[in-house]
């Protein structure tokens, strides 16, 4: 029987690439995001290409009531979720702490931290009921070590790192695995969102070296999800070869 993965932020980047990797391995998918048109075209494309089924849910992870309403609306035959990939997230701005836009801070905290908490709590009853499951949280190298002008984005990902550790302990009695994956710089729509559509600033982030691709990260997400039930990768950092940590990239 096919397994079922629930992926947030499936309209772009890691989430979209992960959807394809899971589909190509015969998993059924629940794909979520705010951009319904993209979810529909990804569903059509992957269902045509692979013998799998896809269910889409449109919601903003910041909206607690909407998250619970959407996830609780899943039909019974879509409730046996094996893996949840908490991927939806973003950075907004790259500014000194004393100058950053505080609305950007609110959005990052509400999305990267609170959104992950809401989705996890809404999906968990489907896992605890079956006494099995796996939650994969997307952190970042930014959460391992703060960098200049990263302040609240780095803090939000440090929270994902710490919350993942706590989730892992508390969910053990339910036989639910928790994995935190922390990628370094990867070329997706991430920097275009961070720099609010400024193409030259976004491109500069990836100039002079080969960053990770969305597929690189998706393959690692799938690897963690496909291990035997008794094996759990708890914490995983991956970067491109040119990157040593969150703030040092060799551009030689």
Closest approach, Cβ 67 to ligand NDP, in A, equals 9
**Cα dist. 228→123, 131, 133, 187, 225 in Å?**
21, 15, 12, 30, 9
User: In the complex with ligand NDP, which residue's Cβ is closer, 2 or 84?
Assistant: 84
89 CB neighbour count, 10 Å cutoff: 27
Closest approach, Cβ 27 to ligand NDP, in A, equals 18
Q: Which does 13 bind (CB under 5 to 8 A by kind): ligand NDP, ligand 8X3, none?
A: ligand NDP
**Which H, E and C letters describe 100-147, residue by residue?**
CCHHHHHHHHHHHHHHHHHHHHHHHHHHHHHCCEEEEEECCHHHHCCC
User: In the complex with ligand 8X3, which residue's Cβ is closer, 62 or 246?
Assistant: 246
User: In the complex with ligand 8X3, which residue's Cβ is closer, 232 or 237?
Assistant: 237
The interface mask with ligand 8X3, positions 21-60, x = CB under 6 A, is ----------------------------------------
* Owner of token pair 């979209």: 16
Q: According to CB under 6 A, which residues from 177 to 196 bind ligand 8X3?
A: 184-185
Closest approach, Cβ 10 to ligand NDP, in A, equals 6
Closest approach, Cβ 202 to ligand NDP, in A, equals 11
User: In the complex with ligand 8X3, which residue's Cβ is closer, 62 or 140?
Assistant: 140
DSSP single-letter state for residue 211: P
User: In the complex with ligand 8X3, which residue's Cβ is closer, 126 or 153?
Assistant: 153
- Exposed/middle/buried for 58, CB within 10 Å: 0-12, 13-18, 19+? middle
CA separation for the pair 59, 8 (Å, rounded): 10
Closest approach, Cβ 228 to ligand NDP, in A, equals 26
Which of these segments, 25-33, 39-47, 71-79, 136-144, binds ligand 8X3 (CB under 6 A)? 136-144
Residue numbers annotated as active site: 153
182 in Cβ contact with 80 (< 8 Å): no
Q: Which position among 140, 151, 156, 179 is part of the footprint of ligand 8X3 (CB under 6 A)?
A: 140
Helix (H) or strand (E) holding 214: helix 214-225
Q: Which position among 23, 142, 163, 240 is part of the footprint of ligand 8X3 (CB under 6 A)?
A: 142
> What b/e string do you get for 150-161 counting C-beta neighbours within 10 Å, with b at 16 or more?
bbbbbbbbbbbb
- CA 163-78-12 angle, 5° bins: 60
CA separation for the pair 216, 228 (Å, rounded): 21
Residues in contact with ligand 8X3 by CB under 6 A are 140-142, 184-185, 246
């Amino acid at each position: 029987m096919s397994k079922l993965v629930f992926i947030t932020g499936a309209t772009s980047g890691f989430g979209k690439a992960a959807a394809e990797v899971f589909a190509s391995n015969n998993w059924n998918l629940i794909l979520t995001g705010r951009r319904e048109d993209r979810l529909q075209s990804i569903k059509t494309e992957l269902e045509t290409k692979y013998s799998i089924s896809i269910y889409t849910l449109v919601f903003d992870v910041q909206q607690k009531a909407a998250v619970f309403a959407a996830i609780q609306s899943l039909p019974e035959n879509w409730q046996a979720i094996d893996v949840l990939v908490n991927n939806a997230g973003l950075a907004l701005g790259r500014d000194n702490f004393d100058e950053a836009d505080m609305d950007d801070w609110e959005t990052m905290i509400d999305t990267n931290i609170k959104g992950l908490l809401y989705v996890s709590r809404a999906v968990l009853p489907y896992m605890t009921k079956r006494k099995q499951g796996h939650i994969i949280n997307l952190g970042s190298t930014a959460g391992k070590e703060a960098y200049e002008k990263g302040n609240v984005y780095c803090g939000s990902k440090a929270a994902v790192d710490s919350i993942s550790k706590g989730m892992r302990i508390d969910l053990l009695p339910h036989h639910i695995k928790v994995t935190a994956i922390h990628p370094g710089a990867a070329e997706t729509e991430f920097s275009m969102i961070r720099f609010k559509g400024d193409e030259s600033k976004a491109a500069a982030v990836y100039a002079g070296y080969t960053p990770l691709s969305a597929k690189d990260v998706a393959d690692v997400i799938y690897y963690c999800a496909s291990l035997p039930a008794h094996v759990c990768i708890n914490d995983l950092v991956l970067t491109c070869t040119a990157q040593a940590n969150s703030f040092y990239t060799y551009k030689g």
